[in-house]
Every structure is written in structure tokens, then in C-alpha cells.
Amino acid sequence: MRLEIEDLRVALSGREVVSGVHLLAGDGEIVGLVGPNGSGKSTVLRTVYRHLRPTAGKVLLDGDDIRDLTARQAARHVAALPQERGTDFELSVREVVAMGRTPYKRAFAGEDPEDREIITTALEQVGMAADAGRGFSTLSGGERQRVLLARAFTQRPDVLVLDEPTNHLDVRHQVELLALLREHRRTTVVALHDLNAAASVCDRLHVLHDGAVVASGTPREVLTSELMAGVFGVRAAVVDHPLTGDPLIAFDHRAPADVPVVA
Amino acid sequence: MAVLSLRRKQDRDTSAARAGLVAAVLVVALVVLLTVAVSLGSSSIPVGQVWAAVGRKLTGAAPAAGTSDVIVWQLRVPRALLAAIVGAGLGLVGTAVQALVRNPLADPYLLGISSGASLGAVAAIVLGAGAGGLLGLGLSGAAFVGALVSFSLVWTMARRGGGFSPLRLVLAGVGIGQFLSGITSYLVLQTADEQQTRGVLFWLMGNLGGAKWSLLAVPAATVVLVGLLLQSRARGLNALLMGDETAAGLGVDVARLRRELFVATSVLTGVLVAVSGAIGFVGLMVPHVCRLVVGGDHRRLLPVAALTGAVLLVAVDVVARTALDTQELPVGVVTAFIGAPTLLYLLDRRLEA
């Protein structure tokens, strides 16, 4: 399913934090949303999974405005992994994953064999089937993220939206999680801080700066040393990754770029 | 805890079956305890005679000679049923409020509703016939009006800035609750009448002594209706535990669900406190303990919490009525004796984990 965002504007407490964003994720594409802190990445994503209502503009699924759907209908197309990471309540891994069936179930309806099948499959896909009975709050950060991804899979979504899914994970767990996105590929929009991860995982990148998209294209087109200086305010050289051939951004961690050139 | 480790080793299919088993055990326990509660008292009535008396009443047969039929039917049965209804209601309200403010150690009285109800009731007692005659409200009526007043205040405060966020709800509830409690304390201090002060204290501690048949219908209906509403929102409650954004992503209308929950739990709290005073700890403890046994899924948790609350409060009321020879204890004193150590144990366990 194709996701398009047209001239999206969002105001929070009277301040416009997203001003006229255009974004495209083609069917089956993994699209990265990158940009400095406060550039509006999470806000854009929140309008896609309908936590926030845009002040203007549209989120389109295969050309249909997502606002014309009910919340439940929308949740059958779009599944989200927000930055919220947990719960103090005694929920088991399986109970968390089973929540993904929420948009398909009527009040008082129990789990049918199809639900159970979908839940089991999702647990297997993320490699957590053996942990179904464990308490969610006892999991490590990497395990939690995999379980939350399984929950998103049980929504059987056409579009997956992830907000910084690799935050606070060690490198191995970052690689594992991003590999899962590619392995079970569907239209995906993912906000990422790690530009090198974005460069190797995403088919297309949109760069946000102060609530507007300032660059769009393949990672190689978008990630340039000019953009690193202008948008991120750092000095960097973009080279070829010696192992994968993907763009590799080599940052100068000693000092920021001295004259930010606004793109 | 043994129950917990047992649960973690099992898969969900068996765990649903176990929740059913737990519920069945609780139903049996409730029937047994209700019988015991009716049987025990200042004059003990044998269990067989209890059911015989109830049977005579239900079939319309002539009552047996003597006072035991009257004691059973007019005094003890309504009181035991009230304990079960209030206990079930507190179990439900506690479960829902904990999900609403996303804190497993939240109390149904956290949102200030009970403080309003207490103020209403105390005002009726202290200002006496003058105010009681006012609008022809009884004690329960005055308490419910008080609950409505505090509900309106908390609603107004909590919804400013849009949406009932857990933090706003708790702050508004605690703030307004404290304010209303202050007025209640002032009223109590103003009374010179010792008998009245005693009555107030008894009421504030929670008390099922006012039970009579005519008082049961409203709380029973409210418990059933709110219970059904909550059960129909069980998946939404589960989603709320993970966070508002996750819930929105699962297709839950979070703002509307929070409104529904706040109204439903407030009405039920108001009705419960109006008939029984503010009985502490049940609404806090019951959901927590039930979560350890059947897990956090509200589809199972809500009915089990209602049954557990009913069982617990019927048992507690038996203790409250029979522990001392000379006088009856307020149920709130007994729940506090049982509840406080349980809470401290749970807290300790939680902080260790």
C-alpha cells in the first residue's frame, strides 16, 4: 500500500511544529525520516497513526484520506511502534502481542483460532515464541522492541510506522530489529537518529528540518556533507561502506560545523 | 510468589481456562461466605436454618415461628448482599481507575469522588434534620450529591488543556479531594454532639450497618451496568496500559475512552460510597492481587476482580460484626488492618523487582 502525506501542518499549543510536509512511501518501500531533535519527525508520524490531528493537509493510503476511516478501520491498515516503551502492569508477552488484534474485535469477542494463529506466527517471526509466557516488564530493551514489533505484525497492517525503534538498544539489537523490518517487508516509515543505519536500511529518505522536508531521495542522493553541515550542524565526509557499499557518514566528533548553511 | 511463577510457565490457552477455574472457585466461595455471614451474628443461626428461611421467603411459604426468619431476611441477608455488591463494585472501580491513570497502585478514591460523597454525608449528619429535610435527601442521597459536586469540579479541572491525562486527573482529584476533606473536618469539629461525631466517624470509616432491602437495588444495578460497560471496553483498557499513543495506533479513541471511564467509575464510586461510606484498601488491593493470579488482561481481570472484591468484603464484614463482643467495628478498620500490610508487602515486592 502506498502512503502519501500532502502539505501536512500540525500546530501544538498554538505553535506550528510541522509546516507543509510532503512525503511519499511507495508500496513495500522502507522510508526513513531523519532530522535533528525537534525537527518534527515524531509529530509527522503521530498524524499517520492518528494520535494527533493535523491542522491542515492529508495523510493518504492509496489515495484515500485516512481521516475518512474510523479509528478501528485505520488501525487495520496502519500499525505503529511509538516511543512508549512499557508498562508496570503484569502483562505477559503474549498478552501484549495479542493487543494487535484490537482493531479487528468487537466488544465482548474472544480470541478465535485465526487470532491465535496470527499471534503465534508474529511471535515466531520476531523469535520470541519461547518467551510467550514471560512478563513483558521482565524483558530486556531489545526483547521488548521485538515483542512490540510482533504486536504491530498482529495488526496485519499494510503500513508500518516506527518512531526511533532502535533507541537505547545495543548495536547487535539494532541490527536485529532493522533486519526484521527488511525481512518482513511492507510499506514502512521509520524515524531514525542513526544516519548510517538509515543509509543501509532505507530505500528512500526524507530529511526534516524545522518542521519542513528539506531533502528527499535515495540515501546516496540525500546524505551529503553539505546536508550534514546545513541541517545537522556537523562536519562529515560521506564515503562508501567498505563492507556493504552503502553510503557511510564519517562524522567529525571533535567540533560542530562552524557556519551552518541553512539548506 | 508461587502463583506468579506458575502463571509464567504456562501458555495463554491454559491460562484462560485457569481464569475460568479461578472464577468458579470464587463463585463457590462467595455462596459459602454469604451463608456463613447470614448464619453468624449476635445470635447464631445454623446454616441449614438459614437456607430454610430463605427458601420459605422465596417460595412465599409461611415464616417459621420465632424471630430467626426476620433476622435472616430483614437484617442479615440484605447486609451480606450489600457487602458483596459493594465489594464487587470496589474491585471493578479499582481495576478501571488503575488503568485510567496507568498506575497499578492507584486507589478508587484517588480521583476525589469519595471526598465529595463524604462531605455530603457528613453535612447531612451534622447539619441534621434541617439539611436532611433539605430536598428530602437521605444520608445516601446527600452523599451522592456530594459525589456529583466533586465529580464536576474534578472534571472541569482535569479537562482543561484538552484530554484527561493521567497526571491531570490525579492532581485534580487529589487537590479537590483534599479541599473537600478539609471542609468535612471543619464540619466535624463544629459539632459539640458526641453522638454525632461518633456517627460521622463510623460513616467515614466505611460501614455496612445501614443495609436494608430498599437500599440494594440502585448499587446492584449500577455495579452490573458499569461492570458490563467496562467488560465491553476491556481491550481498550489493555491498550491504555501501554500508553495513549499505542492505544491510538490500535484504533482506540483514547479521549472518548478516558471520558467514559472517568464518568463510569465516578458514578459507581459515588453510589458505593453513598451506601457504605469510604471503605478503604479493597479497590486498591483486589485488582493488584488478581493481576498476580490471572494476569493483566482486563477481559479476565475485571470479572475476577469483581468476584474477589465481593468475597473479600463479605468476609471482612463478618469479622467486623463478630470480632468484638461489645461493639461492631467499622469495616474500614478491618480492611485497613488487612490491607495496609498487604499493600506494604506488594510495594516491597514491586520495588525489588
Domain locations in chain A? 3-92+153-222, 224-263
Q: Could you tell me if A234 and A251 are in contact, meaning their C-beta atoms sit under 8 angstroms apart?
A: yes
**A41, A89, A120, A155: best mutation site toward chain B, by most B Cβ within 10 Å?**
A89
Give the strand pairing for A30-34 and A187-191: parallel
Task: State the Rg of chain B over Cα.
Answer: 21
pLDDT band at B280 (very low <50, low <70, confident <90, very high): confident
Closest Cβ opposite residue A132 in set B12, B254, B353: B12
Q: CB atoms < 10 A from the CB of A107, how many?
A: 12
Closest CA of chain A from B26, distance in Å: 21
Cβ distance of B251 and A76 shorter than 8 Å: yes
Closest Cβ opposite residue B8 in set A74, A105, A134: A134
**A90, A106, A112, A154: best mutation site toward chain B, by most B Cβ within 10 Å?**
A90
pLDDT digit string (tens) for A46-67?
Answer: 999 999 999 999 999 999 999 9
Q: Averaged over A129-155, what is the pLDDT?
A: 93
pLDDT digit string (tens) for B317-327?
Answer: 999 998 887 78
> Which residues make Cβ contacts (< 8 Å) with residue B44, sequence separation at least 6?
none
* The total number of structural domains that make up chain B: 1
pLDDT digit string (tens) for A74-90?
Answer: 999 999 999 987 777 88
Written as one letter, the residue type at A108 is: F
Task: List the domain range (segments joined by +) for residue B175.
Answer: 2-352
Give contacts of B9 with chain A, Cβ < 8 Å. Answer: 133
pTM for this entry: 0.90
CATH code for the structural domain at A3-92+153-222: 3.40.50.300
> Which residues make Cβ contacts (< 8 Å) with residue B56, sequence separation at least 6?
B62, B63, B64, B69
Closest CA of chain B from A210, distance in Å: 23
pLDDT digit string (tens) for B95-130?
Answer: 999 999 988 878 888 888 889 988 988 888 887 655
**B1, B7, B11, B12: best mutation site toward chain A, by most A Cβ within 10 Å?**
B12
Q: What is the pLDDT of residue B13?
A: 56
Distance CA A166, CA A204 (A): 18
Q: What average pLDDT does chain B have? A: 86
Q: Averaged over A158-175, what is the pLDDT?
A: 93
In 3-state terms, chain A is what percent helix, strand and coil (to 5)?
Answer: 35, 30, 35
At CB < 8 Å, which residues of chain B contact A? 4, 7-13, 15, 98, 102-104, 231-233, 235-236, 238-239, 241-246, 248-254, 291-292, 295-297, 299, 350, 353
User: At B106, which CATH number?
Assistant: 1.10.3470.10
* Interface confidence (ipTM) of the complex: 0.91
Closest Cβ opposite residue A75 in set B98, B251, B295: B251
Give the strand pairing for A64-65 and A159-163: unpaired
Q: What is the pLDDT of residue B132?
A: 47
Range in A199-213, B100-114, B158-172, B263-277 the model is least confident about: B158-172
pLDDT band at B350 (very low <50, low <70, confident <90, very high): low
pLDDT digit string (tens) for B9-67?
Answer: 444 556 778 889 999 999 999 999 999 999 988 788 888 888 888 888 888 888 887 78
Q: What is the pLDDT of residue B134?
A: 52
Closest Cβ opposite residue B296 in set A51, A73, A90: A90
